Amino acid sequence: MEELHSETQQTEPEPAPKIIGLTGGIGSGKTTVARFIEEFGFPVYYSDDRAKAIVNESEDLKTKIKELLGKESYDENGLYDRKFVADQVFNNRDLLQQLNEIIHPAVRIDFENWVKKQSKYLVFKETALLFELKLNRQCYKSLLVTAEDNIRIKRVMDRDNKTYREVEAVMEKQMPERDKIKMADCIIYNNTNLEELKEQTEKVVFSIE
């Protein structure tokens, strides 16, 4: 009598999603593009938003930030004082770098845990400092949202009620757009209207293989 051998079927593990780094300078429309990407069914990790949450959630980070910048880094309710911290690091590159070295490793771990929970073949990591921190090296592709400087300045003036010079000062602290354009794998130019922006976004996203 023949023996029947039951073979255990090995299921192939799901391939890891491809990480697309999404970035853009102030007033570029990066967040709007991120919302469109979510509408198209792809998950977006908002690095800046998660960083804001993590600095309030992690006691270890709180201790390190207070040691670096002083106990005033957190208000009387124990919440991160963004204005105080921004004032401390705005014109001090060394302090800013030290602050980034505290916060960004925690965000990286948070992102890695988030990716493990995703099932789409593409996931997007939104971050303002994709190229500055060389995070593009950890991504399959980089996607830059950009616009002409005068358009970006006007958007931020209208949105944040800031003066031309205030916005310009922030832009001067950021990596020049021409450098980002050279480094980006995909580029979305946001110089016209929302309809055109959405069409561009859809075309670029679904062209990524």
Euclidean distance between CA atoms 45 and 111, whole angstroms? 7
Q: Is 142 annotated as a binding residue?
A: no
Q: Is 27 annotated as a binding residue?
A: yes
Buried b (16+ CB within 10 A) or exposed e, 115-137: eeebeeebbbbbbbebbeeebbe
Q: Is 32 annotated as a binding residue?
A: yes
Q: Is 29 annotated as a binding residue?
A: yes
Q: Which residue has the tokens 């300045």?
A: 153
Question: Could you give the dihedral angle defined by the CA atoms of residues 161, 96, 105 and 48, in that order, rounded to the nearest 10 degrees?
Answer: 0
Among 65, 35, 63, smallest CA distance to 49 is for 35
Q: Annotated binding residues for ATP, as ranges?
A: 27-32
Q: Annotated binding residues, as ranges?
A: 27-32
